[in-house]
Amino acid sequence: MRITLQELELHRVAVSKAYAPGALDYQGAEFRQVGPLQVDAVAELVGSEIRIRGHLGTRLKASCDRCLGPVEIPVERDFDLFYRPMKAIAREEEVEIPEDELEVGFFSGDGIALANVVNEQVTLALPMKVVCRSECLGLCPACGADRNRETCQCSPVPQEDSPFASLKGE
Ligand SMILES: [Zn+2]
Ligand SMILES: [Zn+2]
């Protein structure tokens, strides 16, 4: 769905939409959407900019950075975004926006596509490091064995017999 300037000039636009897995094209992303994505947002004109704020929630599946096993990542994200018209950059009319608090993007044409906004927010919600669990041992770099399940012969895994070994945080 498209949020158009034409409509925003008349009134603010409230959107509530669910995207099934596969409905959004995440273009080569290293995750899959595995649950429905629900987005609820309100769009309005602020000067010449389109402001969209709201919330989205979904579930993603990605691979653990260490062992490549599947990791499910719940996403709940609030957003408050400003989109500036492309051609307005030249004749900058200063709109009072505390830049550090807000994310500013650009739009061209008659408005913005909700799917693009959602797509970007989901991509940003993915953590930099995806691990199945903090103590995941990962794969052996030499033979590729999953160290969570087997002990390979490449490098001896340090075995501590101390009764306190399991109590150590690190
Ligand atoms: Zn893992
Ligand atoms: Zn190995």
The predicted structure's pLDDT at residue 27: 87
Query: Which ligand is the nearest neighbour of the Cα of 70?
Result: 1
| Cα separation values, 32 from 2, 35, 77, 168, Å | 24, 9, 17, 35
- Please give the average per-residue pLDDT across 89-96, as a whole number: 55
- Please give the average per-residue pLDDT across 30-58, as a whole number: 96
Residue 128 has pLDDT above 70, yes or no: yes
Q: Return d(Cα 110, Cα 158) in angstroms, integer.
A: 62
Rounded percentage of the chain residues whose pLDDT exceeds 90: 68
Rounded percentage of the chain residues whose pLDDT exceeds 70: 81
Quick: pLDDT tens for 58-82. Answer: 999 999 999 999 999 999 999 999 9
- How close is the Cα of 66 to the center of ligand 1, in Å? 5
Residue 133 has pLDDT above 50, yes or no: yes
- How close is the Cα of 70 to the center of ligand 1, in Å? 8
Cβ atoms of 14 and 42 closer than 8 Å: yes
Q: Return d(Cα 52, Cα 41) in angstroms, integer.
A: 7
- How close is the Cα of 63 to the center of ligand 2, in Å? 20
Binned at pLDDT 50, 70 and 90, residue 170 comes out as: very low
The predicted structure's pLDDT at residue 130: 95
pTM of the model: 0.76
Query: Across the chain, what does the average pLDDT equal?
Result: 87
Binned at pLDDT 50, 70 and 90, residue 153 comes out as: confident
- How close is the Cα of 154 to the center of ligand 2, in Å? 4
* DSSP, res 6: H
Residue 32 has pLDDT above 90, yes or no: yes
- How close is the Cα of 159 to the center of ligand 1, in Å? 20
**Which position has the higher pLDDT, 92 or 138?**
138
- How close is the Cα of 148 to the center of ligand 2, in Å? 12
